[in-house]
Amino acid sequence: MRKTLISRFVKYWMVLLACLTITPAHAASPEFTDEADVVVIGAGSSGLSATMTLLQGGVKKIIVLEQNPFPGGTSNVAEGVLGVESRMQRDRYLGPPMLTKDMVFKREMNYTHWKGNARLMRKFINMSGATINWLQDMGVPFEEVSQTTFDGVRTWHIVHEHGKGLIKVLFGKAKQSPNVKIMMETPATRLIANENNDVVGVAAKGKKGEIRIKAKSVIVATGGFADNPELVKKYVGNAYAGSVANFGKVGFGLTQLQALGAKTEGLGTLENSAVYDKRKAKMGAPNLVDLEFDALGQQPNNIMVNKNGERFCDELIANNFVLQANAVERQPDHFAWVIFDENLRKHYVHSGIDAGMGVIVPIGTKLEKLNGAIDKYIAAGDRNVYAAESIEELADKIKVPADTLKKTIATYNKAASVNKDEEFAKDPHFMSPLTGKLYAMRLVLSYLVTVGGVSTDLDMRPIRPDGKTIGGVYVVGSDVGGLYGDSYGLDSPGTTFGFAVNSGRIAALHFLESYK
C-alpha cells in the first residue's frame, strides 16, 4: 500500500520535474482552452484560503489546479496556525494584556535578527487573530492554543485532526460551490505571460492533454521546493537528508516566477529539524514508533555528541528543533549522537517526556512504543541506535574516539553533580550523571518545508529586483521568501501554516478590490 502510494508520487514528481525543466514561463499568443476570473494553483491551506476569500467576495469563476489526487499538501500534517488576539486566546486569558500583536511582532523580528521582511510580518501578525476567528466561523475545529518551546508564546491554534481538519472544511466548502471548478491530478506546467512578462494564464497537464486557461489573475500556492533535491542542494547545500510529507512539491512557483524575473529571498532557509532515521527523512509520513524516537531525540536530559565524541551545545536547545538542527549542521559530517542511560530510558517510558515534540508527541507522553522498539531495532542491526554496558563499548559501536567520549561523559557527570555546566551553561534541572547501561541514537538533518522563495509586496504580488510588481499574479504560502532571516521561528509557533492561510487571504482581498 505504502509502496504503491510512493510510486504514484514518484510518477507525479517526475512528470512535474520534466515539465519544469523543459518549459520556459513565457509563451507568445497561446490558444486558450478555458477561462476563469482567477486560477489558484495548489489546493493546500494557502490556495484554499485564497479560494474561500474569493468566493466570499463574490468571484464567479475560480479554477483550482491540484497535482495530487488529494487536497491539502503539507498543510495536512501541520498541527497549528499562528494567531494573535484571537477570540480563543481572549477566552483563555491569553489575549491582551498577556499577549498582544505588538509583543509577538517584536519577538518574531528579534528572533530573526530583523533580517526578515518587517512590514509583511507586521501585516500578517496584525490580521492573524481575525483569521483564526474567520476560520472558526467557517467551521474549522480548533482544540487548544499552545506553545511549542519552554520560552515560547501561546500563539499556536491547534486544529482537531491537525491540518487535515482545516483542509476538510475549506476544501469541502469550495467543492460545493458552483463558482469553483476543482481539477485534481492536474499539475500546472507553466505560467503563460504576455510580452511584458505579466501573467495572463496558466498551462496545465489535463487528463486529456494540455489545457491553457486564460485568467484575470493567477494565485500561485504551490508550497515551495522541498521535494526537489536539486534545488535544495543548489540553495541549501548537502547537509540535509530529506524532508517529510512534501510529495511532489518541486518548486513550480519559484522556478516559474524566477523565469519572469521575480526577485527571491531566503532560499537557503529551511524549517529544519534533526531526526533519528535517514530513511524516514527521505520518505513520507513516519510511523508512531519513529515519532517517539524523534521525541526522544529532543529531550533536554540527554547529551549530544559529534563524531569526535564531543558535546557541542546546551541540550535544552533540542526543544526548539530549528536551533538543534542549526547546531547539528555545524558538526563534522552534519550528524550527532544522542546519548542517554538506562535511568533516563525508564524515565521517558514510565514518567513521560519533559519536552514535547509539538503536539504530535505532547509533553508528558510516556514513550511506551519505544519500550521494546529500541531492543528490537538493535537486534535487527539498525545502524541508528546502539546500547552498551560501558563507555568504551559504546564508543567502539558508534565509532567515536573512546578517550574523548570518556572525558566528555566524565566532565558532564561532574557538572551534573555540582549543578554547574561550565561548557554550555545547561540548566542543572535537566542534568543527571550518566551511569550504567548507555544508549546512543544517531540524529541526521531533515526539514519540514522550505521557507525561502519569491519576494513580494504587501499584497502578495511578486516583485522584480527593481521593486516593480509582476502583473496578473500573486504568490502565497511557502512559495514566498524573506520572512524568517536565517532561522525559522518556533518562538511564536504556527508561523508557516499561519502565513499560508493569511497570505492566501491577503492576495484574494487585494484581487477583490478591483474585481467587477
Contacts with ligand FAD by CB under 6 A lie at 16, 41-47, 65-68, 73-75, 77-80, 187-188, 221-223, 244-245, 248-249, 252, 271, 448-449, 477-478, 494-498, 500
Q: How far is the CB of 13 from ligand FAD (least distance, A)?
A: 10
CB of 65 to ligand FAD, least distance (A): 5
Is-cis flag, bond preceding 178, omega within 30?
no
Cβ neighbour number for residue 194 with a 10 Å cutoff: 15
Cβ proximity to ligand FAD, 301 vs 450, nearer residue: 450
Q: Nearer to ligand FAD by C-beta: 269 or 495?
A: 495
β pairing state of 438-450 and 270-275: antiparallel
460/477 Cα distance (integer angstroms): 10
- Of the two residues 166 and 398, which places its CB atom closer to ligand FAD in the complex? 166
Smallest distance, ligand FAD to C-beta of residue 471, A: 21
Is the Cβ of residue 398 or residue 480 nearer to ligand FAD in the bound state? Answer: 480
Shortest reach from residue 283's CB to ligand FAD, in Å:
12
With CB atoms as reference, the residue minimizing the distance to ligand FAD is: 44
Q: At what angle do helices 45-56 and 495-513 cross, to 10 degrees?
A: 30
Burial of 214 (0-12, 13-18, 19+ CB in 10 A): middle
Between residues 95 and 477, which has the closer beta carbon with respect to ligand FAD? 477
What is the phi/psi pair of residue 48, to 5°?
Answer: -75, -30
Tell me the closest approach of the beta carbon of residue 172 to ligand FAD, in angstroms: 16
Nearest distance in Å: CB 204, ligand FAD? 7
SS (H, E, C) 270-313: EEEEEECCHHHHHCCCCCHHHHHHHHHHCCCCCEEECCCCCECC
- Tell me how far, at minimum, the Cβ of 337 lies from ligand FAD, in Å: 24
- The residue (of 311 and 505) whose beta carbon lies closer to ligand FAD is 505
Q: Which is nearer to ligand FAD, 472 or 493 (CB)?
A: 493
Q: Which is nearer to ligand FAD, 74 or 319 (CB)?
A: 74
Provide the minimum distance between the beta carbon of 449 and ligand FAD in the complex, in angstroms, as a whole number: 5
Q: Are 158 and 164 in contact (CB under 8 A)?
A: no
Pick between residue 225 and residue 337 the one whose CB is nearest to ligand FAD.
225
Instruction: Quote the CA–CA distance of 82 and 495 in Å, as a whole number.
Output: 5
Pairing of strands 473-475, 209-220: parallel
8-state DSSP, 493: S
Q: Which is nearer to ligand FAD, 288 or 418 (CB)?
A: 288
* Helix residue ranges per DSSP H, 2-117: 2-22, 45-56, 87-91, 101-111
The three-point CA angle 280-283-284 to 5° equals 100
Beta bridge partners of 39: 63, 218
Contact 252, 21 (CB under 8 A): no
b/e per residue 92-112 (b: at least 16 CB within 10 A): eebbeeebebebbbebbbebb
Output the smallest distance, CB 132 to ligand FAD, in A.
13
Residue 406 CB, shortest distance to ligand FAD, in Å, is: 37
Grid cell for residue 422? 561550565
In a 3-state reduction of DSSP, which class is residue 329?
A: helix
Phi, psi of 453, deg, nearest 5: 175, -145
User: Judged by CB, which is closer to ligand FAD: 42, or 472?
Assistant: 42
Could you tell me which residues come within 8 angstroms of residue 33 by beta carbon, excluding any fewer than 6 positions away?
Answer: 210, 211, 212, 213
Q: Whose Cβ is closer to ligand FAD: residue 95's or residue 251's?
A: 251
Q: Minimal distance in Å, beta carbon 279 to ligand FAD?
A: 16
Q: How far is the CB of 126 from ligand FAD (least distance, A)?
A: 17
Instruction: Of 165, 325, 315, give the one whose Cα is nearest residue 239.
Output: 325
